[in-house]
Structure 1
């Protein structure tokens, strides 16, 4: 039997579309809520590497797989780089870009009208 989740107001649509992210505290847990390519994502503000506040990191792109001496940049505004040690995670799936099996703790997000909710 699955646990019933509670819905917590996190931000407004306009707020996230303007700023791109908002860090909130719900039930004593810091969560970063992000707007990426028209969708919303919520991640625990805790890097699995060294417990850094990962959601405070730079949102950027990354180098894509390419041939030797070719440097192709992509996934602009889809990558979250940890501010302490530079670990990079995909904002749409929470996965570390190199270490398979390492990922951010995510939460479901709901949009109702102009309000964005995180389910916990």
Structure 2
């Protein structure tokens, strides 16, 4: 049964630097994207790497011309092992939308961050 667990204070999570927390027997990364907070299981579904310890970044936009356009700043986490990129809000892999990292609901109460897992 899922339960709400205190993780940290809101001001302990900076954009671009996830907060890694232990919830029961597993590790979760809590990310700040703008004014919202999102949590992912700290396991890459590709090969089991510590996903949330990779960089919080953006990615290149799909374009028709021979140019690179960087977008989605801080909305992506890139696995440090093999470079797979995942949307932090949904857990969806950018290269293959059928692959997903597990997400958890995040709530903010009185400047405290809680994850329901």
- TM-score, with length taken from structure 2: 0.94
Q: Quick one: structure 1 residues 19 and 68, their matched pair in 2 at CA, closer, same or farther if it must change by over 3 Å? A: closer
- TM-score, with length taken from structure 1: 0.92
Q: Report whether the alignment pairs 1:69 with 2:76.
A: no
CA contact (8 A) 2:76 2:85 kept: yes
Match among 80, 83, 90 for residue 83 of structure 1: 80
- Measured against aligned partners, the alpha-carbon deviations of 1:32-85 in whole angstroms (never above 9, x if no partner) come to 011111100010000000000000001111100111312111001111000000
Which structure 1 residue ranges, 4+ long, deviate > 4 Å from structure 2?
none
Query: Partner residue of 2:99?
Result: 102
CA contact (8 A) 1:40 1:109 kept: yes
Q: Report whether the alignment pairs 1:50 with 2:38.
A: no
Q: Report whether the alignment pairs 1:33 with 2:47.
A: no
Looking at CA atoms only, which structure, 1 or 2, has the larger radius of gyration?
1
Alpha-carbon distance in structure 2 between the residues aligned to 1:20 and 1:8: 20
User: Over aligned residues, Cα RMSD in angstroms?
Assistant: 1.3
CA contact (8 A) 1:54 1:82 kept: yes
* Structure 1 runs not aligned, ≥5 long: none
SS at match of 2:13: helix
Alpha-carbon distance in structure 1 between the residues aligned to 2:72 and 2:45: 22
